[in-house]
Structure 1
Amino acid sequence: MERKFQNVSAVLRDERCIFVDGYKPLGNYQQALADEVRTQLRSRRDIFGFMDAAVDAPAATRLDFSWNVTDPPLDAQIQLGPHSVPEHGFHTDYVAREAENRQLGHAGEVAVLELERGRLRDAGRNDLADRVRHVSEEDGDGLGYDILSFDASGERRLIEVKTTRRSIHWPMVVSRNEIRVSERRADEYVLARVFAFASMKVGLYELPGAVSATCDLDPLSYLALPKPAVH
């Protein structure tokens, strides 16, 4: 029975809907199950109000928690390509919607900023801790990363922070610019995933290097302009 609930979580994730955190998404589900989940979503439209509230809730800067630093989940089994895109028009893309919650994103960045400074101070590198900067706040949000930090030897760490209140299995949204910067500066780039941000034990895993090498990528949108007429 638990595996079936995990399959339901995978369907909801691939539909860009919120799933129960206690049931890790398990892919390779049957199409009949996916169809039934969609039918249930259509018949229970009130559930989307709860999903709206979950992703839109204001987020304040907070340091009243402990960190759970862990390895990334490497068995996501997410379905990529056209079959993973909701084509039914009956709900919001909650992955993208939560990613647009700027208060939540900022709160996660501040938390990682303080974590980086504390890590360097604990390593006896107060000089480097004083140089850690919240560059997306100070210089603008177009650099492709949020925090300029260092390791204990003084090597730079360009950290892009992605924050969610959801579980470790919730997908991230990355921009084309972030991908390009990570490829150009792969030796310095770190994608930091903050998860379970509403809990007292906030999760964190890191993916160092080019995002295209560390993540499966599925395009959500395209920039479009009319094509010249072909004669």
Structure 2
Amino acid sequence: MSGDWTDDQNDAIVADYFEMLADDEAGRPYSKAEHNRRLQSQIGRPRGSIEYKHQNISAVLKGLGESWIPGYKPAFNFQKSLEDAVARWLVSHPSWITGESRPALMPIQSRVRSVAPLWIGPPPTHSNVPPPVELEQMTAIANKFDVAGRDARNRALGRAGEERVIAHERLILMSANRSDLAKRVRWVSNEDGDGAGYDVESFEIDGRARLIEVKTTNGWERTPFYVSRNELAVAESRRSEWCLVRIWNFAREPRAFEIRPPLSAHVALTPTSFVASML
């Protein structure tokens, strides 16, 4: 069989991919070869075509700010019909996004209490930007499906990321013999609400204030995120204290980078809404 894939074929391989992805994230053994043979029988496509389509699905998930199966390296220039099939699966399985049915996200509480410090590296720069075709497709998918808004609305993911940063901050302070400061680290957004313009109140080793806004995604380091007008205002008024910690790849192996004001030196800030007042 040749030509474009049908919706039924796309839906079948996407469902099979997520079955493997769930096993992969949970550390359960599974056989890619067996999955491939089963799909060959089910959808009438050859082994190589199925393998490459798995790589296409990884690319779609990358654009959607989701994790993917490491053994299927993202392959781009995929068809829009596949993009739609992945979106259909996610819509019909909302608990995957929220983490309720996701093996790697379910034991969040126990993991946060026993974690090591976060791996914090440099933020993405122009020097390590992906090839233009890849970046264009990733950006288009992220904008089309409002990936930044989805992550912002995912309260479970956001809270888990904030907890992870709190644990990290306390560990860093305690390792520097500043248990006095570690005890004073506060989860501001949980205790006082979201109006402060930052989520965590921590400290530098020398006692200076450290105000942290946390942005979390299961996707790659270039997954877009929302920044509120209030967060920007606080970042500007308290430049020496405020920072943004971006956690990515949260479902698998959380990594992070930190950026400090002015944010415009690190990210492109695009207005997404306007207040309309009657004339």
Alignment TM class, shorter chain as reference: 0.7 to 0.9
- TM superposition shift of 1:44: 6.7
RMSD: 3.4
Q: Distance in 1 between matches of 2:173 and 2:187?
A: 15
Q: 1:108 aligns with which of 140, 144, 161?
A: 161
8 Å CA contact retained: 2:115, 2:167: no
1 CA distance for matches of 2:226 and 2:218?
14
Match of 1:215 in 2: 267
Moved segments of 4+, more than 6 Å:
23-26
Partner amino acid, structure 2, of 1:57: G
Match of 1:143 in 2: 196
Q: Is residue 21–residue 166 contact of structure 1 (8 Å, CA) maintained in 2?
A: no
The answer to whether the 8 Å contact 1:163/1:197 transfers is yes
Is 1:164 the equivalent of 2:206?
A: no
Matches within 5 A, 1:194-205: 194-199=247-252, 201-205=253-257
Letter in 1 for 2:124: P
**In 2 relative to 1, CA 152–76 (structure 1 residues): closer, same or farther, beyond 3 Å?**
same
Listed as ranges, the gaps of 5+ residues in structure 1 are none
Equivalence for 2:83: 41
Structure 1 residue 117: Cα displacement:
1.2
3-state SS of the aligned residue for 1:212? helix
Partner of 1:127: 180
Going from structure 1 to structure 2, the CA distance change for 1:161 and 1:57 (only over 3 Å counts) comes to same
Q: Which residue of 2 aligns with 1:55?
A: 97
**What's the TM-score, normalizing by structure 2?**
0.61
**How far did 1:106 drift?**
0.8
Structure whose residues are more often helix by fraction = 2
User: Compared with structure 1, are the counterparts of its residues 209 and 38 closer, same or farther at alpha carbon in structure 2 (3 Å cutoff)?
Assistant: same
Cα contact 1:65–1:202 (8 A) shared by 2:
no
Partner SS for 1:223: coil
Task: Give ranges in structure 2 of 5+ residues lacking alignment.
Answer: 1-51
Cα offset for 1:156? 1.0
Assess if the C-alpha contact under 8 Å between 1:98 and 1:164 holds in 2. Answer: yes
1:117 has 2:164 as partner? no
**In 1, are the aligned partners of 2:62 and 2:68 still within 8 Å (CA)?**
no
Q: Are the counterparts in 2 of residues 160 and 192 from structure 1 also a CA contact under 8 Å?
A: yes
Are residues 95 and 150 of structure 1, via their aligned partners in 2, closer, same or farther at CA, if it must alter by over 3 Å?
same
The structure that has the greater radius of gyration is 2
Identical amino acids, percent of aligned pairs: 33
